[in-house]
Structure 1
């Protein structure tokens, strides 16, 4: 609910604080800007030019919901939630402070909702550029506020307000992360590692993971964020049937590039063992 996180949000035009009016039907700033809250419960916070980039389609969002609900990525979900809890413990958050967790590229809210269940005193901001995702995100957890925004235009959040930022297979804006992160806060990233879903690469033609993805992410953060400890390698196998494989591909960027996907899926075995690989990295402010 937006009322739980209103003290964190900022006007995307001038960065001033927002407040809820008309029982949170609108959010307004002292400078006079007003943002309508959609009937589904999310708010779009974009500057005067509006959103410039395209988010996941309704079909991609449905595929994501289908795949994640099957629990195949449970080890990723548990690792991110545990890292968030550890980050809050390390920061020594005062008992009278309700910690704030931001997930960038939150999608349907599957990861963030799990983290909020683990860290029961926390509240969450789920941010995504897709309105189709935001409709589900707004209902993912009672302590979660859903925001549609483009991270490349800046985060519609006040300075020094966020205790943990999680980014799971999503774009990053290190300068903005450092701005909104509290002094002892952490950014927790989950990035695909080489070999992720490799068993599907040849039969389906899905996009591969670049060899230096982790190093490039760390380089891009230089001057804003520093790596805390060694990145953690996560690897596990999944037994996927054709429908699960179709959902996994449908939720990814590969969905836009594969031709004759249904025919390629029909040529697969009834089930396949597929390996998931990723790096979990913790970063703090410089």
Structure 2
């Protein structure tokens, strides 16, 4: 709920604090800007000309919900939650921890983490309005915000104990700004070999090598690794509909003709063993 996390939110134009007005139907900043709360419970916090980038479509969000709700990525979910639990134990002290997920999608990962950490509050941030509609109802201690991860985040400086990014864009400078001292970003990055069994038969996009190394280099001066990355790899037994949902929630959905994809899916076996493979890396503010 937004009223539970408004003390973490900030005006995207100037980072002044926000407060709820008119029964939390809008958020108003100290500098006088006003942002309407949608009837579904989320708020769009974008400065200037508003949102520029395009987020996931309703079809992509529905595919994501279908795939994740069937537990296919459960080891990824558990690994992220375990890492966040360790982070907040170190960074929150006696305070109720604040967990921000950037590119939160349907809120599946964040809701699981909130279930596992008593008293934690979650901020789910995504540029997609269809995603925000899911986020707003994903968990009672979660507030949904539509915002662009590439821009200044509408989050108060030094207010977040743990920040998660799961297969989503990253903004190291802003991540470092919003983290408390001792807080960490927990980042899950698809690794080379992820879903490889589907690449050739479906013609979907591959995962390039050395993604973690590039992440560390791009974050230099803002975030630095805590220990070594953890490889998480496991087989999934997927039928055609699960595979269709997986492709539908990915960037490949934007590049494949739906009829061509359907023909290729029909040519697959009834069940396939597909490898899930990612690297989990924890990062803290540089110089700590």
Matched-pair contact (CA < 8 Å) for 1:231–1:279: yes
Deviation at 1:73, TM superposition (A): 0.2
Q: Does 1:160 align with 2:158?
A: yes
SS in structure 1 of the partner of residue 80 of structure 2: helix
Q: In the alignment, which residue of structure 2 is the partner of 1:134?
A: 132
**Alpha-carbon distance in structure 2 between the residues aligned to 1:211 and 1:270:** 30
**Alpha-carbon distance in structure 1 between the residues aligned to 2:82 and 2:33:** 38
1:130-171 C-alpha deviation (Å, 9 max, x unpaired): 001000100000000000000111100110000000000000
Q: In the alignment, which residue of structure 1 is the partner of 2:38?
A: 38
- TM-score, normalised to structure 1's length? 0.98
1:78-132 C-alpha deviation (Å, 9 max, x unpaired): 00000000111222x222x111000000000000000000012100000000001
Q: In the alignment, which residue of structure 1 is the partner of 2:59?
A: 59
Matched-pair contact (CA < 8 Å) for 1:88–1:185: yes
SS in structure 1 of the partner of residue 7 of structure 2: helix
SS in structure 2 of the partner of residue 51 of structure 1: coil
**Alpha-carbon distance in structure 2 between the residues aligned to 1:154 and 1:246:** 35
Structure 2 portions without partners, runs of 5+: none
SS in structure 1 of the partner of residue 46 of structure 2: coil
Matched-pair contact (CA < 8 Å) for 1:204–1:258: no
Q: In the alignment, which residue of structure 2 is the partner of 1:125?
A: 123
- TM-score, normalised to structure 2's length? 0.98
**Alpha-carbon distance in structure 1 between the residues aligned to 2:276 and 2:13:** 40
SS in structure 1 of the partner of residue 150 of structure 2: helix
Q: In the alignment, which residue of structure 2 is the partner of 1:29?
A: 29
**Alpha-carbon distance in structure 2 between the residues aligned to 1:208 and 1:270:** 23
**Alpha-carbon distance in structure 1 between the residues aligned to 2:151 and 2:207:** 26
Q: In the alignment, which residue of structure 1 is the partner of 2:189?
A: 191
**Alpha-carbon distance in structure 1 between the residues aligned to 2:188 and 2:22:** 38
Q: In the alignment, which residue of structure 1 is the partner of 2:280?
A: 280
Q: In the alignment, which residue of structure 1 is the partner of 2:20?
A: 20
Matches within 5 A, 1:230-245: 230-245=228-243
Matches within 5 A, 1:85-164: 85-91=85-91, 93-95=92-94, 97-164=95-162
SS in structure 2 of the partner of residue 8 of structure 1: coil
1:189-236 C-alpha deviation (Å, 9 max, x unpaired): 000000000000000011111111111111011000010000000000
**Alpha-carbon distance in structure 2 between the residues aligned to 1:80 and 1:242:** 27
Q: Does 1:5 align with 2:5?
A: yes
**Alpha-carbon distance in structure 2 between the residues aligned to 1:77 and 1:146:** 19
Matched-pair contact (CA < 8 Å) for 1:67–1:244: yes
Matched-pair contact (CA < 8 Å) for 1:178–1:285: yes
Q: In the alignment, which residue of structure 2 is the partner of 1:220?
A: 218
**Alpha-carbon distance in structure 1 between the residues aligned to 2:93 and 2:79:** 24
Q: Does 1:70 align with 2:70?
A: yes
**Alpha-carbon distance in structure 1 between the residues aligned to 2:139 and 2:60:** 21
Structure 1 portions without partners, runs of 5+: none
4+ aligned runs moved over 6 Å, structure 1: none
SS in structure 1 of the partner of residue 274 of structure 2: strand
